[in-house]
C-alpha cells in the first residue's frame, strides 16, 4: 500500500541541504569602503583648493602692495606696501626700494585654519615688483630670482616698523 501525502504542505527546499551564504553583507563593506575613499579624495581636493586660494591671496596682495609702494611718495614706499598687505589679510616678509624708485615685495598669506591644523604652519609666498625695469636686466626681476635683489635701501618688517 502506498503512503498517503502528508497533511501539511511540503517546503520546496525540503530534503535539500541548507546552503551557507558566506558573501552576505559584503556589498555593505564594499560601499562603506568606497564612501571612505570618496571622502578622502574630497578632503584632499578641498585642501588643495585652500592652498590655491592662499597662493592667489598672496599674489594679489603682493601685486597691489608693489603698485601702491611704487606710487607712494619717496620714503613712504614700504609703509604704504605694508598697510596694503595688512588690509589683504597677508603678511609682508620683505620690502626693497631700488635706486630707480622701483619697489619689490615678498608677501606671505596663511593657509586656511583647518588646513594649517594638520598641514603645519606655513602659507603661500609671492613676490612682486613695480616700477621701472632694472638697468641692464629684464623687466620683472624680483628678489630671489634672476640677477638678485635691487639695491636694498629700506627693509620693513611685517609689523610696519622700518629697520635699516
Backbone angles phi, psi at 84, to 5 degrees: -65, -45
In a domain, 15, yes or no: no
Q: How far apart are the C-alpha atoms of 142 and 149, rounded to whole Å? A: 6
Q: Which residues is 92 bridged to in the sheet? A: 107
- Domain containing 91 equals 26-163
Residues 101, 70: contact at Cβ < 8 Å? yes
pLDDT tens-place values along the chain, 164 residues long: 566 665 666 666 666 665 656 767 788 889 999 999 999 999 989 888 888 988 999 999 999 999 999 998 888 999 999 999 999 989 999 999 988 888 999 999 988 877 777 666 678 889 999 987 655 555 554 544 444 444 444 444 444 444 43
Q: What is the DSSP letter of 100?
A: T
In a domain, 71, yes or no: yes
In a domain, 89, yes or no: yes
**Whole-prediction pTM:** 0.60
Amino acid at each position: 500500500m502506498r503512503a498517503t501525502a502528508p497533511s501539511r504542505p511540503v517546503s520546496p527546499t525540503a530534503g535539500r541541504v541548507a546552503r551557507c551564504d558566506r558573501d552576505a553583507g559584503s556589498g555593505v563593506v564594499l560601499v562603506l569602503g568606497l564612501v571612505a575613499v570618496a571622502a578622502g579624495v574630497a578632503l584632499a581636493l578641498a585642501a588643495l583648493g585652500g592652498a590655491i586660494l592662499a597662493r592667489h591671496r598672496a599674489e594679489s596682495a603682493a601685486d597691489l602692495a608693489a603698485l601702491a609702494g611704487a606710487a607712494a611718495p619717496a620714503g613712504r614706499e614700504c609703509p604704504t606696501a605694508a598697510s596694503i598687505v595688512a588690509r589683504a589679510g597677508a603678511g609682508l616678509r620683505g620690502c626693497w626700494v631700488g635706486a630707480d624708485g622701483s619697489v619689490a615685495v615678498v608677501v606671505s598669506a596663511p593657509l586656511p585654519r583647518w588646513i594649517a591644523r594638520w598641514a603645519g604652519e606655513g602659507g603661500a609666498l609671492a613676490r612682486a615688483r613695480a616700477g621701472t625695469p632694472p638697468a641692464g636686466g629684464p623687466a620683472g626681476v624680483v628678489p630671489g630670482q634672476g640677477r638678485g635683489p635691487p639695491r636694498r635701501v629700506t627693509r620693513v618688517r611685517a609689523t610696519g616698523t622700518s629697520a635699516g
